[in-house]
Amino acid sequence: MAPYQNLEEYNINITNEVKERFSKIIDEIGEDVTRDGLVKTPERAAKAMLFLTQGYKQDATAILKSAMFKESYNEMVIVKDIEVYSLCEHHMLPFFGKAHIAYIPNGHIVGLSKLPRIVDVFARRLQVQERLTEQILECINDTLKPQGVAVVIEAAHMCMMMRGVQKQNSVTTTSGFRGAFKKEETRNEFLKLISSDLS
């Protein structure tokens, strides 16, 4: 698997297969797939779906390993307000929000841009927020082997907003902590820092 790539070129065979399925869905819900506004929609939808699920073809561990550096720094490193866009695996509707990641190095640091990239790798799959949180957490913990790692995700789910209970202002928060972040003092420092505005 490639460590990281923007999916700008699409496998023609897969794209055509997904395109045909979208065309059939549009037809079966009662629309005319041959009218001007919809003629290119199946292809656009196919490419959008392939883009939104490109995480299956990427290796988050390889991304982290590509930018690991030996360093003696051993205090908390936080990257907060990382934009998250994913698809709920139950309804294939979007959920979106922010991820906050912290780790305490244990001999190695990682290039800061790699943390948002691994968020994208796991988010660009059919997901549930709970698993997404766990996958990001375990990838960092297993690869960097830090003293501790923490992940918090806050997200709004369109499956709750557009259908079902139709609650427009609900936000779901998930969290995971390993190592030093199991200690209340360290965890509270992290939670305080991600909720504060340092500017």
CA distances from 162 to 61, 67, 114, 145, 157 (A): 35, 40, 33, 41, 9
Examine the residue annotation and report whether 100 is marked as an active-site residue of this protein. Answer: no
CA distances from 10 to 18, 86, 167 (A): 11, 20, 36
Which of 108, 134, 159, 189 is an active site residue? Answer: 159
Which of 20, 31, 71, 89 is an active site residue? Answer: 89
Examine the residue annotation and report whether 135 is marked as an active-site residue of this protein. Answer: no
Which of 17, 31, 90, 130 is an active site residue? Answer: 90
Which of 88, 127, 139, 147 is an active site residue? Answer: 88
Cβ 184 vs Cβ 134: under 8 Å: no
CA distances from 170 to 83, 103, 134, 156, 176 (A): 18, 28, 21, 7, 20
| 72-108 as b/e: b if 16+ CB within 10 A | eeeebbebbebebebbbeeeeebbebbbbbbbbbeeb
User: What pairing do the DSSP bridges indicate for beta strands 148-157 and 94-104?
Assistant: antiparallel
Examine the residue annotation and report whether 89 is marked as an active-site residue of this protein. Answer: yes
Examine the residue annotation and report whether 108 is marked as an active-site residue of this protein. Answer: no
Which of 127, 129, 135, 147 is an active site residue? Answer: 129
Which of 91, 138, 154, 189 is an active site residue? Answer: 91
Examine the residue annotation and report whether 75 is marked as an active-site residue of this protein. Answer: no
Cβ 65 vs Cβ 112: under 8 Å: no
Q: In what order do the strands lie in the sheet with 77-88?
A: 126-127, 77-88, 94-104, 148-157, 172-179
Examine the residue annotation and report whether 139 is marked as an active-site residue of this protein. Answer: no
Q: Catalytic residues, which ones?
A: 88-91, 129, 157, 159
